[in-house]
């Protein structure tokens, strides 16, 4: 069982930046697809970015391309979501999720079996 923990959320003004981290204590994500999702109140969970840790291949939702970056550390035990040029509409609970194997090009929440508890991101105008 992989336990995921997100950190790095908070409140920021529009145009600011935050970096979220996702770790599985004592776990190394070798050849995993790790995705970042967000969910705002009353809205469906939305994928924002994903990475296949085997090759470092990344995927992004159109709404965040050019602003968000998914990355991993060399030890492959921590994943990051760097969020720049934040907008009020980016306000949501952010989750990381993981599954073993490559990411599907049409990756979505149902692909992932392991989830963190989430970290809140609030962007004020």
How far is residue 43 from each of residues 35, 70, 93, measured CA to CA in Å? 18, 23, 11
Q: What is the DSSP string of 53-109?
A: TTTTEEEE-TTTTTTEEEEE-TTSSEEEEEE-S--GGG-EEEEEEEEESPPPTT--G
Instruction: Decide: residue 88, CB within 10 A, 0-12 exposed, 13-18 middle, 19+ buried.
Output: exposed
Cα first-last separation, the chain: 40
Q: What is the pLDDT of residues 67-97, one digit of tens each?
A: 999 999 988 899 999 999 999 999 999 999 9
CA–CA separation, 17 and 90 (whole Å): 11
Q: Identify the pLDDT of residue 112.
A: 97
Q: What is the pLDDT of residues 1-60, one digit of tens each?
A: 788 999 999 999 999 999 999 998 888 999 999 999 999 999 999 999 999 999 999 999
Three-state secondary-structure class, residue 111: helix
């Amino acid at each position: 069982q992989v336990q995921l923990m997100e950190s790095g959320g908070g409140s920021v003004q529009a145009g600011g930046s935050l970096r979220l981290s996702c770790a599985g204590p004592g776990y190394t994500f070798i050849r995993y697809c790790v995705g970042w999702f967000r969910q705002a109140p009353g809205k469906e969970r939305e994928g924002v970015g994903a990475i296949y840790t085997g090759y470092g291949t990344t995927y992004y939702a159109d709404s965040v391309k050019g602003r968000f970056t998914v990355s991993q550390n060399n030890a492959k035990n921590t994943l990051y979501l760097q969020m720049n040029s934040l907008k009020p509409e980016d306000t949501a609970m952010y989750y990381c999720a993981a599954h073993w194997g490559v990411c599907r090009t049409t990756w979505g929440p149902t692909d992932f079996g392991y989830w963190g508890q989430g970290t809140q991101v609030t962007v004020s105008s």
